[in-house]
Structure 1
Amino acid sequence: MSEHTIKATGRNVEGKGASRRLRHAASIPAIVYGGSAAPKPIQLDHEKIWLASQNEWFYSSILSLDVDGKVESVLLRDMQRHPYKQIIMHLDFLRVDANQALRAKVPLHFLNQDSSPAGKAADVVVLHELNEVSVSCLPADLPEFIEIDLATLAVGDIVHLSDLKLPKGVELPELKLGKEHDVAVVIAKHGRVEAEETTEAAAETAEVPAAKAAKKDDAK
């Protein structure tokens, strides 16, 4: 697990007006909560956080949050963005305990797809049903990502959650809920099959208003 440090400053003034003034001053209002300590309002430099937010690790790694020289281990739990401007409006950080398991979403990295039998075939579509998974582990074991090697993927193959190779100490809570939760992560199918399924779905959607119209005519 790589270490990433985020610097912040404590703040004493809260409320919408104070948050608005912070944003005008190119800062981001945020809060740190969880653990035995009380929630703490903080502020961060927007430009630095914006740059950090372009990296995958910002969302899936344990961060070292330095607030006025005091460092805490945290995990990003929520980010509020402006509807159309490149502005981060607010951040929520959760304190983590090194001795307590946590749950977090981890991105998936797909390897060797283009060189696989399915990837080389012109008429095969490789679908990524999931791009991230929820894991449970101790903070020290939290991976920044999970790799899926698709080197041998062929048409008709399906990679399920249970097929993922997880780092030591990492579990997938979904798999404990039953076989029906062992969902597909990657599917390789013929392109014409994908097109037929899309056409059938569109036809079923179109039949609904037609059926309603027919019922109205029958009622007259």
Structure 2
Amino acid sequence: MSEHKITATSRKDEGKGASRRLRHAGQVPAIIYGGKSEPKSIQLEHERTWLLSQQEWFYASIIDLDVDGKTEKVLLRDMQRHPFKQRIMHLDFQRVSANEAIRVAVPLHFVNAEKSEAGKTAGVVITHELNDVQITCLPGDLPENIEVDLSTLKPGDTVHLSQVKLPKGVEVPELRLGADHDVAVVMARFARTETEETTEAAEGAAPAAAAAAEDSDAADAAADEGKGE
């Protein structure tokens, strides 16, 4: 597990007005909560934090958060963004304990698809049904991502959640709920061509046209009988 350190400072002013002033000053209001300590209001430099937020690890790694020279291990639990500006409005960090399991959404990295039979077969489309997965583990076992090796993928294959190789100490709680929760992660299927879709559409339209013609003939016959009367 890589180490990531972020520097912040404590703040005493709270409320919407204080947060607005912080943002105007180029700072991001945030809070640390959880564990045996009281919640703590902090602030971070916005430009630096914005750059960090572009990194995948920022959302699924234990962070060493240095607040006024004292470091706490935390996880990012929530980020509020401005609706249309490139601006972080607020951050929530949760303290973690080395001996307590945590639940985190970790990104999936798909590798070696181009080396697989499916990847080398013309007309086969490989789709990723999941981009991340919820896991539980101790903080020391938290991976920044989980690799899904697709080197043996063949046309028609489906890779399920239970088939993903997990790092040591990592579990997927979803799998404890039964086979219905063993969802597809990757699928390799032949793409339907435009010709096939056109043919199927035409075949489907033919019976409908025939039925419409029969209904029309029946209506004409009924009208003729009515005139005869």
Q: Does the pair score TM above 0.5?
A: yes
Structure 1 match to 2:14:
14
TM-score w.r.t. the length of structure 1 is 0.87
What is the distance in 1 between the residues matched to 2:8 and 2:122? 51
Distance 1:135 1:48, change over 3 A: same
TM-score (norm 2): 0.84
- In structure 2, C-alpha distance between the alignment counterparts of 1:174 and 1:127, rounded to whole Å: 21
Corresponding letter in the other structure for 1:181: H
Aligned pairs for 1:156-195 (under 5 A) are 156-192=156-192
Matches within 5 A, 1:58-137: 58-137=58-137
> Could you say what the CA RMSD is over the residues aligned between the two structures, in angstroms?
1.8
Looking at structure 1, the residues matched to 118 and 126 of structure 2 have their Cα atoms a distance apart, in angstroms, of: 7
Distance 1:145 1:65 in 2: 21
* Offset, 1:115: 2.1
Per-residue deviation, 1:37: 0.6
- Give structure 1 stretches of 5+ with no counterpart: 201-220
Q: Percent identity?
A: 67
**SS of match in other structure, 1:2:** coil
- TM-fit CA distance, 1:193: 8.1
Q: Which runs of structure 2 are paired with 1:140-219 in the superposition (5 Å)?
A: 140-192=140-192
- Residues 103-154 of structure 1, C-alpha deviations (whole Å, 9 max, x = no match): 0000000001122111122211111000000000000000000001101111
Which whole-Å CA distance do the structure 2 matches of 1:95 and 1:122 have between them? 49
* Letter of the structure 1 residue corresponding to residue 142 of structure 2: L
| Deviation readout 1:145-194 (Å, 9 max, x if unpaired) | 00011011111101111001111100000000111000000000011189
Aligned length: 199
Listed as ranges, the gaps of 5+ residues in structure 2 are: 202-229
> How many angstroms apart in 2 are the aligned matches of 1:46 and 1:141?
30
Distance 1:100 1:193 in 2: 52
For 1:55 and 1:62, locate their aligned partners in 2 and report how far apart those are by CA, in whole Å: 13
Whichever residue aligns with residue 186 of structure 2, its letter is V
Task: Work out the CA distance in 2 between the residues paired with 1:25 and 1:164.
Answer: 46
* Aligned twin of 1:214: none
Deviation (angstroms), 1:100: 0.4
